[in-house]
Structure formats: structure tokens, C-alpha cells
Amino acid sequence: MADSLPVLVVGSIVLDSIRSPYGESKAALGGSAYYFAAAASFYANVRMVACVGEDFPDEGRHFLEKRGVDVEGFVTMPGKTFAYEAEYGDDPNHRVSLRTCLNVFEKFHPVLPPLYRSTPVVFLGNIHPALQMEVLDQVDSPEHVAADTMNFWISRSREDLERLLRRVDTLFLNDSEAKELTGEKNLIRAIRRVCEFGPSTVVLKKGEHGAVLYRENTLSVVPAYPLEIVRDPTGGGDTFAGGVMGYLARAGSFDRKTFQEAMLHGTAAASFVVEEFGPKRLMQVTSERLEERLRTLRAMIAIG
């Protein structure tokens, strides 16, 4: 940790109510910043920019503090926390949103604590691209900027998103987002064309089909961790990104080989999250269990 580059994350903190064929959760801790920070904190010092309402449970903040996350930029505002309701059927890659109440998040305009402004590694979690930009504007020449986005912003806030992407080094997105952003129907062409928008690196998240890295004109793949039960896929992608960026920050390097290794760590971290509703499993996981899953992943791709 001491040697790790610090990582700044901005994103949502949400109380998630999720139904899946395996059960349901009510107002569980969640949101892109929450999952990202929980995973990245295994590897790096994380500085969090986010807001919650007065209804946010203390245990949520305590868990982050226990994991060493700097919560100076994590503010409580009058009103209610961002609340989200969604449902999954048998396909864990397909979610149906039922209700999205931004609540306090609607008026959130973060002012970064002074220490945060010199953070070398920045992750802009999936929120409005204008808000992502607001945060990025407050950071002095970061070394590496990564971002996540979603179809909603690609279609509704395209200009803001395109402006942001010009300043992003690594973009995390899924198949359908890559296709929508670029207008390409072929996935490989879509991945390559994402770079025309600014990012030099693309991390494509394919859920149960693993992830693809495009960096230095080269494609690499990692498989998903093989799970027999996926109870709640929510937060899987943000946890994955947290593992990836946390590992990179600890390594202090962003070359292709380090990225590939980082993707295995992100995959292992994400595998715990999706096994249970909310971040429960990730809150309990030990480095030993993480290491065990990394070994399985390595064995799955070892040839010869």
C-alpha cells in the first residue's frame, strides 16, 4: 500500500434493491464508486469523491474506512441517497432497470479536498459525463485517467461524453456500449474504433464471457471466473474496474503486460461480488481467497 500510487474515484453511491432468480436485496450498499473503492482498496490507497443522503447507513462508511479508503471527499447531503431498483432474469448479462431516483445525487457538484487534486490515477465511475469532467478538471495533470460509461450517456449526453473521452486514457465499457458508441456492429472493429474518441486503451467487459483488453494495438483476453451461482451481477463491472485500476496503481505501471495481469485481479475481485446480493462477499474476502481464484484463472488460460 505504502508504495502504491493513490487512486481517486468519483462515482455514485447507491442503495440498490435488486431481484434475481436467486432472491432479492433491499436498499443494499452499492453504486459505481462504492464497488470500485471496495475492490481497489485491496491494492491501493483510494480517495473517494461521492455523496449520500442522511439515510445512508453508518456501516457503509465504516467498511470503507476500515479498508483504508480516504473518505474526506465522501459527503452527506440533506435528503435521500440515490436509490435504484432493478431485476435480472436467467441471463446475468441482461438487467432491467425498474426505478432510478437520483435524490441527493441530482445536485451533486463535488469540490475536491486539496490533497485529492494531485492524485496520479483517476477513475471516473459511471455517472453523467459532465460530472466526470467537473472532477477531472480539478485534478492537476494526472498520470492515468480511466473512465466507465453506459448506453444512457452515449445516447443522451453524447457531446459531453465525447469531450470527456478526449482526456481519457482507458475506457471501460461492455459490448453493446462499444457498438453504440462507434456505430460498429462487429465487436473487434468497435473496440479498435473506440480509440478514435481519445482513449489509448479499451477494456471491454463481457460479463460471463470475460474481458478483452486493447492496448498498444494488441488484443488480450481474460476469461470470467467460472461461477456456478451468480446471484446478483450488480456491481460486477465496477468491482472489476476497481481490481484492475488498484492493481495498476500498486504496480505503478500501465504497460500492456501489467494491464493483462491487472485484468486477472479485477476478474477475481468481481467474482466474489456477483455471488451474493450487494457487496457482502467482497467485504469478507481475504487476500488468500483472492489469490486462490487468481490461480484458477491462470490455470484456465495456461497453454502447453
- The three-class DSSP label of residue 268 is helix
> CB-wise, 68 or 226, nearer to a second copy?
226
Residues 83-122, one symbol each (x = binds a second copy by CB under 8 A, - = not), give -------x--------------------------------
- The three-class DSSP label of residue 234 is coil
Dist CA 210 CA 263 (whole Å): 10
Q: Which residue has the cell 463481457?
A: 206
**CB-CB contact of 35 with 244 (8 Å):** no
- The three-class DSSP label of residue 236 is helix
Q: Residue 299, interface with a second copy (CB under 8 A)?
A: yes
Residues 12-51, one symbol each (x = binds a second copy by CB under 8 A, - = not), give ---------x------------------------------
Q: Residue 178, interface with a second copy (CB under 8 A)?
A: no
**CB-CB contact of 112 with 135 (8 Å):** yes
**CB-CB contact of 102 with 53 (8 Å):** no
> CB-wise, 206 or 280, nearer to a second copy?
206
Residues 220-279 that bind a second copy (CB under 8 A): 220-221, 223, 226-230, 257, 260-261, 264
> CB-wise, 207 or 279, nearer to a second copy?
207
Q: Judged by CB under 8 A, how many residues of this single chain contact a second copy?
A: 34
Pairing of strands 121-124, 144-148: parallel
Per-residue cell: 192: 479498435
Residues 115-174 that bind a second copy (CB under 8 A): none
> CB-wise, 141 or 217, nearer to a second copy?
217
Pairing of strands 82-88, 14-20: parallel
Shortest separation between residue 186's beta carbon and a second copy, angstroms: 6
Dist CA 264 CA 242 (whole Å): 12
Interacting residue ranges for a second copy, rule: CB under 8 A: 21, 90, 185-189, 192, 206, 208-210, 212, 218-221, 223, 226-230, 257, 260-261, 264, 298-304
